[in-house]
Amino acid sequence: MHTPVSIGLIGTTDASIVAALAPRIERLGFHALWLNDVPGGDSLAGLRVAAAATERLGLATGVIPLDRRPVDTLDLAGLPEARTSIGIGSGRIAHPLAFVEQGVARLRERCDAEIILGALGPRMRRLAAERADGVLLNWLTPQAASATTAELRASAGERRARSVLYTRTVVDDDARAELEAESERYEQVPAYAANFARLGIRAIDATIDGAGGVAAYESTVDEIVLRAITPSGSLAELERFVETTAAWVERAAEVRPV
């Protein structure tokens, strides 16, 4: 069985682009559309637009920082729970484990959607295994992703907890400068810098720029999210991105062992 592949967009993507792109993402056979939640962009509002334009496509947030947007302030109306995953994280709060655990409990009371925790360190990943439905991982090579998934499954025991990997991806050279700038920004974040040092990698090593990159992550996690990096985020660029990556996924399937 192949690993489901999804598309990730920045949460500030204009609603008109989401409405036009989501049906194409669904038609091309991707598993889900993930919208991250950033200042100036409401991932839940974007997913409502995508929900109205699709029938089967998964809808996911990756992730909502609860220090900035507490659970009780989230507008969950209009989202089909059966195909929605709510990704949450601690943001910059002190004592994040207890804070996020309380957030998971409150979100369980409010909806039946899948809950995914954004987690960098082992303690938050363990919390995801024990309390949530899965974990959203970032900036991992295939080897690190496989090891982290094994750790998650061991922590979950008989529970089912999915590993989802968010990986920055480009489809042409015009976007490489954006990819390199994004990688360098994360290398300046202390928590990520420490993680890169532990893994012995650069951020750029955990990105994808070709069909072989998609194939390399096969079976390392339960879902791969190709976070679209394009020069300007225009509809034309994103259409090219999803068409190209769909071809990559198909090519990877052709060489996948039976």
Cα separations in angstroms, 19 against 46, 49, 245: 9, 6, 19
Residue 79 sits at the vertex; the CA angle it makes with 48 and 156, to the nearest 5 degrees, is 120
3-state secondary structure of 16: helix
Local structure of residue 194 (DSSP, 8 states): H
Q: 124: helix, coil or strand?
A: helix
Residue 2: predicted pLDDT: 85
List CB contacts of 218: < 8 A, sequence separation 6 or more.
2, 3, 252, 256
Q: Where are the domains of the chain?
A: 5-255
pLDDT of residue 251: 86
Residues 221/223/127/104 CA torsion (nearest 10 deg) = 180
DSSP state of 53: H
Q: What is the pLDDT of residue 256?
A: 60
CA–CA dist 80, 77 (Å, integer): 9
What is the structure's pLDDT at 89? 96
Q: What is the pLDDT of residues 90-146, one digit of tens each?
A: 999 989 999 999 999 999 999 999 999 999 999 999 999 999 999 999 999 999 999
| pLDDT reported for residue 193 | 96
Predicted local confidence at residue 257, as pLDDT: 54
The pLDDT, as a whole number, for residue 45 is: 97
Give whole-number Cα distances, 199 to 153, 159, 166, 204, in Å: 20, 28, 17, 13
User: In the CATH scheme, what is the code of domain 5-255?
Assistant: 3.20.20.30
Residues of the chain with pLDDT under 50: 1
Phi/psi at 100 (5° precision): -70, -35
Q: CA neighbours within 13 Å on the CB side: how many for 116? A: 25
Rounded (10°) CA dihedral 22, 83, 154, 63: 60
Task: Please say whether the beta carbons of 235 and 24 come within 8 A.
Answer: no
pLDDT given at position 1: 47
* pLDDT score at 255: 66
Cβ-based burial of 169 (10 A; exposed 0-12, middle 13-18, buried ≥19): buried
Alpha-carbon distance of 134 to 148, in angstroms, equals 12
pLDDT of residue 252: 82
Dig out the tokens for 6 from the structure.
């999804």
* Residue environment code for 193-212, b if the CB has 16+ CB neighbours within 10 A, otherwise e: eebbeebebebbebbbbebe
Q: What is the pLDDT of residue 253?
A: 77
